[in-house]
């Protein structure tokens, strides 16, 4: 059985690191504020969210038809299409393609779908050099750490961290932590790798069925270099990425970058519909549980277009960082999605949520994240996957809330305990609240008693 992720513990470690916590929170909240500002410039913003949600729901409810149409269009122009049922199948297919072309080194654009398959690790363990081309992703690769955000993989790190990593791995000046300098180190290093790369690998933001087009949105130019420079290109596409028509695309593009980082568009929005002369393109359509999720009540999570805005707005995520989720998809999306990959391993994640509802309010395709997180809490409890402390809490609360008499007794018991438990015990390690707070001064009465003495009395006076 897999080890259960304890996001609370990992998050507490990040919270205790004030410089990193403050930087993470500041950067993500700035993106959220920019998102609000640009969204406010478009009066049709909320209408666009409804339309995008509707198109995604339409596409998913006709997914088999659109997948076949997409495949036929790609194949008609010489793109080779593969189908992978699992992450392992995906990695085997990719490795076979690379071996048959004698590829020893490649460059790879950022792709959460490939990360979901642990593809880089698989290729590296089979002797293939994989060079991540996105700056944030490269930082994480060199640091041997998971991404902390689906759009900004190293946003939890400080510039001093990057300077140390680049000095160790790329031989840069350890004393220079200027981000412009660090970017130039990355650029110079990657240029050498692009020239040597025998293959490129990329993900896909949208797969347009009507035209058979792979659409990629990026900022650094690296994805386009990976896609156009080497003679061999492999594209991994989750089957849920298909959208029906070309005319749907601008709607999603208008929402994507504005939601993600608060900008009108990404620097590069690129479309591949055929190989270039002398180029070979393989597309791997990945299922890995998606077709099963489609038949479950939580299928709307498949509408997600990976903009990351739910993470930028989440008060838990901003303070604990994506690293604390120890998962490929983190933040509210991770809470709503990861238990479907491994219920035991991610059983605690749905409880890392304040239920403020902000993620659902900002999602550009209206994935009902708060409802899905609540759904997974129920599943976890019903499957007895939760923490012992959660079971205990819920058992006690269940008894207290069973009827009014029990609740009255519980209130009195609670007040008595507040008054009489010595502070050495009440504020010890058994009470996590007391680590950062003093216990409140106990009131004289329970609220119920106070209400009977005051509010009821006033009500009677009003009645007269």
Does 115 help bind other proteins (rule: CB under 8 A)?
no
Closest CB 175 distance from other proteins, rounded Å: 16
Q: Is 280 in the site for other proteins (CB under 8 A)?
A: no
Closest among 163, 180, 179 to 171, alpha carbons compared: 163
Q: Which is nearer to other proteins, 183 or 454 (CB)?
A: 183
Integer CA distances (angstroms), 454 to 7, 414, 415, 447, 462, in order? 44, 21, 19, 10, 12
Classify burial at 115, counting beta carbons within 10 Å of its beta carbon; exposed 0-12, middle 13-18, buried 19 or more.
buried
Residue 408 as a binder of other proteins (CB under 8 A): the answer is no
Q: Is the dihedral of CA 56, 59, 61, 63 positive or negative?
A: negative
CB of 239 to other proteins, least distance (A): 7
Under the binding rule (CB under 8 A), the answer on residue 330 touching other proteins is: no
Conformational region of residue 12, where left means phi above 0, alpha means psi within -120 to 50, and beta covers everything else: alpha
**Would you give the distance in Å from CA 398 to the centre of its chain?**
33
If you search the block for the tokens 């666009």, which residue do you land on? 48
Q: Which is nearer to other proteins, 90 or 377 (CB)?
A: 90
Residues 55, 1: Cα–Cα separation, whole Å:
39
Tell me whether residue 292 is exposed, middle or buried, using C-beta atoms within 10 angstroms of its C-beta: 0 to 12, 13 to 18, 19 or more.
Answer: exposed
**Going by C-beta distance under 8 Å and a sequence separation of 6 or more, which residues neighbour residue 352?**
7, 8, 11, 316, 320, 325, 335
194 in contact with other proteins (CB under 8 A): yes
Q: Are 308 and 136 in contact (CB under 8 A)?
A: no
Using the rule CB under 8 A, is 159 a contact of other proteins?
yes
Query: Which stretch in 193-201, 328-336, 410-418, 424-432 sits in contact with other proteins by CB under 8 A?
Result: 193-201
Question: Six-digit token pair at 112?
Answer: 């959460």
- With binding defined as CB under 8 A, does residue 104 bind other proteins? no
Query: Does residue 215 sit in helix, strand or coil?
Result: strand
The least distance separating other proteins from the CB of residue 426, rounded to whole angstroms, comes to: 41
- In sequence order, the 6+-apart residues with CB closer than 8 A to the CB of 447 are 411
φ/ψ of residue 206, rounded to 5: -140, 140
Note whether 176 binds other proteins by CB under 8 A.
Answer: no
CB of 260 to other proteins, least distance (A): 11
Among 187, 409, 448, 452, binds other proteins (CB under 8 A): 187
Nearest CB to other proteins, comparing residues 272 and 347: 272
Nearer to other proteins, 42 or 426 (CB): 42
Question: Which DSSP letter does residue 276 get?
Answer: P
Nearer to other proteins, 252 or 329 (CB): 252
Q: Please give the residues from 51 up to 90 whose contact with other proteins meets the rule CB under 8 A.
A: 51, 54-55, 57-58, 60-64, 67-68, 73, 83-85, 89
Closer to other proteins by CB, 204 or 347: give it.
Answer: 204
Shortest Cβ 359–other proteins spacing (Å): 20
Q: d(Cα 383, Cα 77) in Å, to the nearest integer?
A: 48
Q: Tell me which of 32, 49, 108, 157 binds other proteins, using CB under 8 A.
A: 157
Interface with other proteins, residue 180, by CB under 8 A: yes
Per-residue interface string for the shown chain with other proteins, residues 226-265, x marking contact by CB under 8 A: -xxxx--------x----xxxxxxxx-xx------x--xx
Provide the minimum distance between the beta carbon of 178 and other proteins in the complex, in angstroms, as a whole number: 9
Q: Which of 383, 382, 384, 318 is nearest to 352 (CA)?
A: 318
Residue 154 found at the interface with other proteins (CB under 8 A): yes
Q: How far is the CB of 238 from other proteins (least distance, A)?
A: 12
Q: How many residues bind other proteins (CB under 8 A)?
A: 98
96 is a site residue for other proteins (CB under 8 A)? no
Q: Is 287 in the site for other proteins (CB under 8 A)?
A: yes
3-state secondary structure of 242: strand
189 binds other proteins (CB under 8 A): no
Q: At 209, list the tokens.
A: 């069925």
Residue of 13, 44, 96, 121 that binds other proteins (CB under 8 A) = 44
Phi-psi region of 314 (alpha: psi -120 to 50; beta: other; left: phi over 0): beta
Q: Which is nearer to other proteins, 156 or 345 (CB)?
A: 156
CB of 352 to other proteins, least distance (A): 23
Q: Among residues 104, 153, 156, 109, which one has the least CA distance to residue 134?
A: 109
Q: Which among 8-16, 184-192, 344-352, 454-462 is the span making contact with other proteins, rule CB under 8 A? A: 184-192
Q: Which of residues 6-35 bind other proteins (CB under 8 A)?
A: 23, 26-27, 30-31
Site string for other proteins, 205-224 (x = CB under 8 A): ---x-xxxx-----xxxx-x
């Amino acid at each position: 059985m897999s080890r259960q992720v304890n996001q609370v513990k990992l998050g507490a470690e990040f919270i205790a690191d004030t410089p990193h916590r403050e930087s993470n929170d500041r950067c993500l909240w700035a993106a959220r504020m920019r998102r609000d500002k640009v969204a406010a410039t478009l009066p049709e913003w909320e209408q666009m969210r409804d339309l995008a949600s509707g198109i995604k729901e339409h596409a998913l409810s006709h997914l088999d038809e659109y997948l076949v149409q997409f495949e036929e269009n790609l194949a008609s122009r010489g793109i080779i299409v593969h189908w992978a049922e699992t992450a392992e199948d995906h990695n085997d297919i990719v490795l076979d393609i690379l071996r048959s072309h004698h590829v020893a080194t490649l460059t790879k654009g950022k792709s959460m779908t490939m990360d979901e398959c642990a593809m880089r690790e698989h290729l590296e363990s089979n002797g293939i050099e994989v060079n991540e081309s996105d700056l944030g992703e490269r930082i994480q690769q060199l640091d041997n750490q998971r991404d902390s955000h689906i759009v900004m993989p190293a946003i939890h790190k400080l510039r001093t961290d990057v300077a140390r990593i680049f000095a160790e791995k790329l031989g840069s000046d350890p004393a220079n932590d200027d981000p412009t300098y660090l970017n130039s180190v990355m650029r110079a290093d990657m240029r050498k790798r692009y020239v040597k790369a025998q293959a490129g690998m990329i993900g896909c933001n949208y797969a347009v069925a009507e035209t058979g087009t792979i659409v990629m949105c990026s900022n650094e130019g690296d994805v386009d270099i990976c896609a156009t420079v080497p003679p061999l290109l492999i594209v991994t596409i989750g089957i849920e990425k298909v959208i029906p028509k070309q005319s749907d695309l601008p709607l999603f593009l208008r929402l994507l970058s504005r939601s993600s980082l608060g900008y009108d568009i990404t620097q590069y929005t690129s479309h591949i519909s055929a190989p270039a002369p002398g180029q070979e393109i393989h597309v791997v359509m990945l299922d890995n549980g998606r077709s099963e999720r489609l038949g479950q009540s939580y299928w709307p999570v498949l509408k997600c277009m990976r903009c990351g805005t739910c993470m930028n707005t989440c008060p838990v995520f901003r303070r604990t960082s994506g690293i604390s989720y120890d998962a490929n998809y983190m933040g509210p999306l991770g809470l709503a999605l990861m238990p479907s990959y491994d219920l035991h391993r991610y059983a605690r994640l749905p409880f890392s949520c304040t239920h403020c509802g902000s993620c659902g309010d900002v999602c550009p395709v209206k994935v009902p994240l708060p409802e899905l997180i609540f759904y997974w809490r129920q599943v976890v409890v019903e499957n007895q996957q939760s923490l012992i402390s959660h079971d205990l809490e819920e058992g006690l609360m269940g008894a207290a809330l069973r009827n009014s008499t029990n609740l009255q007794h519980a209130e009195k018991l609670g007040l008595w305990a507040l008054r009489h438990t010595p502070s050495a015990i009440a504020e010890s390690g058994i009470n996590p609240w007391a680590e950062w707070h003093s216990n409140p001064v106990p009131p004289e009465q329970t609220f119920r008693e106070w209400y009977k003495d005051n509010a009821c009395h006033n009500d009677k006076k009003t009645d007269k």
